[in-house]
């Protein structure tokens, strides 16, 4: 079972629409939509972050308004194992203390 399934998501695609880095990098909020046809919004909020790694994989996609999440691993809180997002444009790795998933559906 993948991490999206563990969080209660089905088989539809998720897209990242915005990333906010706050409090000098100690909080990362990732805005997403689930199922591009229906556009159900949700947000990952990582707090007490100690490390953020960003790798641009496809510079030509830097002006796109959304990134398709290809692989996602939640990792483990308390700075034990980083979260990992692999998209069609970038990779993002976040070493975090706590995590919250915000969705209203």
Query: What pLDDT tens digit does each residue of the chain (105 aa) get?
Result: 578 888 888 888 999 999 999 999 999 999 999 987 889 999 999 999 999 999 999 999 999 999 999 999 999 999 999 999 999 999 999 999 999 999 988
d(CA 7, CA 92): 19
Rounded-to-integer distance, Cα 30 and Cα 46, Å:
8
> Which strands, in side-by-side order, build the sheet including 98-103?
51-56, 90-95, 83-87, 67-73, 14-22, 27-34, 40-47, 98-103
What is the pTM (predicted TM-score) of this model? 0.92
Distance of CA 36 to the CA centre of its chain: 16
């Amino acid at each position: 079972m993948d991490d999206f399934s563990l969080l209660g998501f089905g088989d539809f695609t998720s897209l990242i629409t915005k990333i906010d880095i706050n409090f000098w990098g100690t909080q990362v909020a990732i805005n997403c939509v689930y199922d591009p046809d229906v556009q159900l919004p949700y947000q990952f909020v990582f707090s007490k972050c100690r490390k953020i790694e960003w790798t641009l994989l496809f510079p030509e996609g830097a002006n796109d308004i959304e990134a398709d999440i290809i692989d996602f691993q939640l990792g483990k809180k308390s700075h034990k194992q980083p979260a990992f997002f692999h998209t069609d444009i970038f990779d993002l790795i976040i070493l975090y203390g706590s995590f919250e998933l915000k969705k209203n559906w």
